[in-house]
């Protein structure tokens, strides 16, 4: 359930009309606090993802011996 937040809309001096803004927003917003299982999933994802990103970086960089870091670029573009 979103908690309303009263905000002022107006000039920089803070004089304005109060309006209600619905918060929180975004993916997973309003689901409540993180559980231990959520923390476990994040840790597992980081533990698997970081070595894979490193290995992909090394594999690309070993094939492209140039000054530009193509491995890092490829990993960052891939996400």
pLDDT tens column, 13-29: 555 566 666 666 666 66
Confidence band (pLDDT; 50, 70, 90) for 71?
Answer: confident
Task: Please give the average per-residue pLDDT across 31-46, as a whole number.
Answer: 90
C-alpha to C-alpha distance for 53 and 56, rounded to whole angstroms? 5
**Residues 44 and 77 both lie in one domain:** yes
Looking at the structure, tell me whether residues 38 and 26 fall in a common domain. Answer: no
Higher-scoring residue by pLDDT: 5, 23: 23
Q: Which two tokens stand for residue 31?
A: 């689901």
Question: What is this structure's pTM?
Answer: 0.51
Same domain as 55, residue 17: no
Residue 20 neighbours by CB under 8 Å, 6+ apart: 4, 5, 6, 7
- The whole-number pLDDT of residue 6 equals 47
At residue 24, the pLDDT reads 65
Which residue range(s) make up the domain with 73? 33-79
Q: Distance (Å, rounded) from C-alpha 76 to C-alpha 58? A: 13
Together in a domain, 40 and 77: yes
Q: Which residue pairs from 66-69 have beta carbons closer than 8 angstroms and sit at least 24 positions apart in sequence?
A: none
Confidence of residue 41 (pLDDT cuts 50, 70, 90): very high
Residues 39 and 22 in one domain: no
């Amino acid at each position: 359930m979103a908690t309303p937040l009263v905000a002022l809309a107006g000039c920089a001096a803070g004089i304005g009309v109060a309006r209600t803004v619905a918060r929180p927003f975004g993916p997973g917003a309003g689901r409540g606090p993180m559980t231990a299982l959520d923390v476990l999933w994040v840790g597992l994802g980081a533990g698997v993802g970081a070595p894979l990103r490193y290995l992909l970086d090394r594999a690309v960089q070993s094939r492209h011996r140039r000054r530009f870091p193509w491995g890092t670029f490829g990993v960052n573009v891939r996400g």
